[in-house]
Amino acid sequence: MANFLQIEKYLKEKKISYKLISLRSSPAKRDAGLKVIDLGGEVFTVDQVKKSGVEEDEIVKTLVIRIGRSQGFNQQNVERSSIKMQFMALAIRRKDRVDFKKVRRLFGSKSGLARPEEVLMVCHVPVGAVCPILIEVPLYFDQKVMSLKHVNMGSGDLKKGLEMKLSDLLLAVGDYKLADMVIDDP
């Protein structure tokens, strides 16, 4: 996983359109098309992102899932390449919740949400900053994400978010799979 500067450099090199948003800026400033200045302050949760005025139906969160029969996480004993084989990333809409029964059917009975220290080890960013672009583990998009036209997501920095067309995001991530991994709507 890359940090914000690496992701931004990659998007510029690939000429992929995106908009940088400050998670502390007002919606009026973003709507006016002004260049957004990072005003500081870290944002860890989707609810905090909503308060910054981001269109909540466009929020996509990227979760890191520990897959299979993990023996437990021990940073000292495990090579990074083998650690990454034990994880995958799942991008879902803000309002959706992971259906771990579906995840376990696909990836093994011991699969579950990665712990914060695992996310940091695998992605090099804390929970809340994970971005699907340049992520180094297999990436899955829940099928419901495909109904969005624009997405807002983590950028590798807790103070900033990325906004772009879904088609541009899919171009930026390149290799991904689609799956049904969220709880069905009632």
> pLDDT, tens digit, for every residue of 35-86?
333 434 555 556 665 566 677 889 999 999 999 754 444 444 444 445 556 9
Q: Which residue from 135, 133, 168 is spatially nearest to 150, judged by alpha carbons?
A: 168
**Helices then strands, each counted (H, E), the chain:** 7, 8
Check if the beta carbon of residue 74 is closer than 8 Å to that of residue 115.
Answer: no
Token pair of 182, please?
A: 């969220």
Q: What is 4-179's CATH number?
A: 3.90.960.10
Strand order in the sheet with 160-165: 19-22, 160-165, 150-154
Residue 128, by phi and psi: left (phi above 0), alpha (psi -120 to 50) or beta? Answer: left
pLDDT digits (tens, 9 = 90+) for 94-114: 999 999 999 999 999 999 999
pLDDT digits (tens, 9 = 90+) for 141-177: 999 999 999 999 989 988 888 999 999 999 999 999 9
Share of the chain above pLDDT 90, in %: 56
Q: Which residue from 136, 147, 133, 135 is spatially nearest to 178, judged by alpha carbons?
A: 147
Q: Which residue from 178, 158, 179, 163 is spatially nearest to 116, judged by alpha carbons?
A: 158
Q: Tell me, what DSSP letter sits at residue 178? A: E
Counting every residue, how long is the chain?
Answer: 186
Report the pLDDT value the prediction gives residue 30, as an integer from 0 to 100: 43
What's the whole-number mean pLDDT along residues 129-144? 96
Residue 151: CB partners within 8 Å, gap ≥ 6? 58, 59, 60, 145, 163, 164, 165, 166, 169
d(CA 89, CA 63): 6
Residue 174, by phi and psi: left (phi above 0), alpha (psi -120 to 50) or beta? Answer: left
Identify the bridge partners of residue 93 per DSSP, sorted by sequence position: 60
- Where are the domains positioned within the chain? 4-179
d(CA 103, CA 182): 9
Band the pLDDT of 23: cuts 50, 70, 90: low
